[in-house]
Amino acid sequence: MAEPDKPGTRWRRGACHCRAVQFEVRAPEQVEVEDCNCSICRRTGFLHLIVPLSDFRLLSGEDALTSYRFNTGAANHTFCRVCGVKAFYTPRSNPDGVSVNARCFDDGEAPELLVTPFDGVNWEANAASLAHKTAQPISQP
Ligand SMILES: [Zn+2]
C-alpha cells in the first residue's frame, strides 16, 4: 500500500551494526530527539526518535530481533541478537509507536538532530512530554 507523502519529510534508512536489522523511518530535515538518563538508555547511549507506526518500516531482520523487558515490562526493548545493537524498540511512552535510535541511521540518512535531555529516572513525572516527533516538521506551526 502506498503511503501518502508528508511534505518536508522523506524515508531515511538505518540498520544495526551487522545490518541484519534494516529499517526506514519517515522524518523531516530536522527532528527533536531525547537523550534519556534512565538505567537502560544511559548504558546504551540510545537517542530517541519517537514516531508513529505509520512512519516506520522494518525492511529486514525480523528473525534477528530478540527482546529484553524489565521493570513494568511495558517497553519491549528489541535488539539484534547477532550484533547486540538496539536500533529501535517499542517504548512504554508510545506503545502504538516506535522509538528509533537516531545513532543508527546510515551515512547521509540522518536528519539534523536537536538533542533534548529527558529525565527518564523520573519517568512517571515526565512521560507526558514524549510524543511522536514526525507528525509535523518542526519548522511548521
Ligand atoms: Zn545486528
Q: What CATH number has the domain spanning 21-120?
A: 2.170.150.70
- Going from the Cα of 64 to the center of ligand 1, the distance in angstroms, rounded, reads 7
- Going from the Cα of 22 to the center of ligand 1, the distance in angstroms, rounded, reads 9
More confident residue, 71 or 5: 71
CB within 8 A of 121, min separation 6: which ones? 37, 38, 39
- Going from the Cα of 50 to the center of ligand 1, the distance in angstroms, rounded, reads 21
Q: How confident is the model at residue 124 (pLDDT cuts 50, 70, 90)?
A: confident
- Going from the Cα of 51 to the center of ligand 1, the distance in angstroms, rounded, reads 21
Checking if the pLDDT of 137 tops 60, the result is no
- Going from the Cα of 86 to the center of ligand 1, the distance in angstroms, rounded, reads 8
Q: What is the mean pLDDT of residues 71-78?
A: 89
Q: Mean pLDDT across the chain, nearest whole number?
A: 87
As a whole number of angstroms, the distance between CA 20 and CA 15 comes to 7
- Going from the Cα of 29 to the center of ligand 1, the distance in angstroms, rounded, reads 26
- Going from the Cα of 87 to the center of ligand 1, the distance in angstroms, rounded, reads 9
Checking if the pLDDT of 136 tops 50, the result is no
Torsion angles phi and psi, residue 42, rounded to 5: -70, -25
Q: What is the pTM of this model?
A: 0.85
